[in-house]
Amino acid sequence: MFRHELRWSRRAVAAAFACGVAALAAGPASAQQAPVKIRLSWIVPVSNWASMIQEKKDLAKHLGKSYTLEITRFAGTPPLITALANNELEIANLTYPTLPIAIQNAGMNDLMVIADEFQDGNAGYYSNEYMVLKNGPIKKVEALKGKVLATNVAGSAVDVAMRAMMRKHGMEDKRDYTVVETPFPTMKAFLQEKKADLISAVPPFALNPELRAMAHTLFDTKDAMGVTQFSMWVARKGFIEKNRAAMLDFMEDSLRIVRWYLDPKNHKEVMEIAAKITKQPPERFDWVFTKKDNYRNPDMLPDLKALQRNVDLVQELGFIKQKIDVTKHADLSLVQEAAKRLK
């Protein structure tokens, strides 16, 4: 009886071993597992990388293998943060004010900065502008006391920089000036109709020839705050840890596509892609991804020192209650390893 059981056990072990060898021979685990679904957001065409990445999927060699990609446009940041909090979005584009708001107000303490989108205030590159009428009475920042200042949304990156400049000159909202909100496309009309004495201007609206004929720049973000880590990609820590291999493949593909867009020899095609997305003439996008645009790190590495300064200011202005250590909310290992793969 014992010998029979022993012979059976040996046969069973041999069979199990054979099955294991066969499984290994069948290929790596990635070939056996379903691709990881990654949902990626964007808000502003061209400026947000996701809007451009979807037009160069032919460069994404891991797409459809280790991961699938679902790219969704959001009307604004609030619904984007809600989707991220409800695990309906894996990677989101946030700005330096909306990052701490998402962490503190939406309860996402596991939110991690994983990549750069673009920065502002970098030497030699475009910086977002704050404009007044050329023939108007305002020639210096101090003259804005008692005036109306137009921003897109209170608490946005553009708004924070505007308030920072006013604070530099000893002025605070409500006490010394009034803030009104209007979308970027209507800023020109607000200034022209004198509904505002100063407007916030960002590309492509800031480059409108009609606006530049009637207005001039009083100051820019660089004057107000120096370098800002304006926009970045974020993801939740649990998703990164659970799906690290797929996320690394995604970052490799994204970095390859980003570098293609930043390569000057591709500029003509880049203009055509921007035109396709926005349904505007290509010649309107000669500035895209050049020094006439905001700075974009070619390795997609965010400037965490600048981000810490930026987030501290958001807290000082009262948009969040507590200070945040951004190093505890950053995981740059994915972009760093992706860059090594592409060397």
pLDDT of residue 331: 98
pTM over 0.85: yes
pLDDT above 70 covers a percentage of the chain that reads 91
Strand order in the sheet with 111-120: 67-73, 36-42, 91-95, 228-236, 111-120
**Domains assigned to the chain:** 30-121+228-341 (3.40.190.10), 129-225 (3.40.190.10)
Answer for the pair 230, 120: CB distance below 8 angstroms, yes or no: yes
Residues making up the chain, counted from first to last: 343
pLDDT of residue 204: 85
Spatial separation of the C-alpha atoms in residues 130 and 57, rounded to whole Å = 36
pLDDT above 90 covers a percentage of the chain that reads 87
Answer for the pair 174, 168: CB distance below 8 angstroms, yes or no: no
**Residue-wise DSSP of 142-201:** GGGTT-EEEESSTTSHHHHHHHHHHHHTT--BTTTBEEEE--GGGHHHHHHTTS-SEEEE
Average pLDDT of the residues in 228-251: 98
State the DSSP H helix or E strand holding residue 243, giving kind and residue range, or none if neither: none
115-139: pLDDT as tens digits: 999 999 999 999 999 999 999 999 9
Average pLDDT of the residues in 70-87: 94
pLDDT of residue 33: 84
192-220: pLDDT as tens digits: 999 999 999 998 889 889 999 999 999 99
Higher pLDDT, 204 or 12: 204
277-333: pLDDT as tens digits: 999 999 999 999 999 999 999 999 999 999 999 999 999 999 999 999 999 999 999
Spatial separation of the C-alpha atoms in residues 304 and 323, rounded to whole Å = 15
- Please say if the pLDDT value at position 338 is more than 60: yes
139-159: pLDDT as tens digits: 999 999 999 999 999 999 999
Spatial separation of the C-alpha atoms in residues 64 and 41, rounded to whole Å = 18
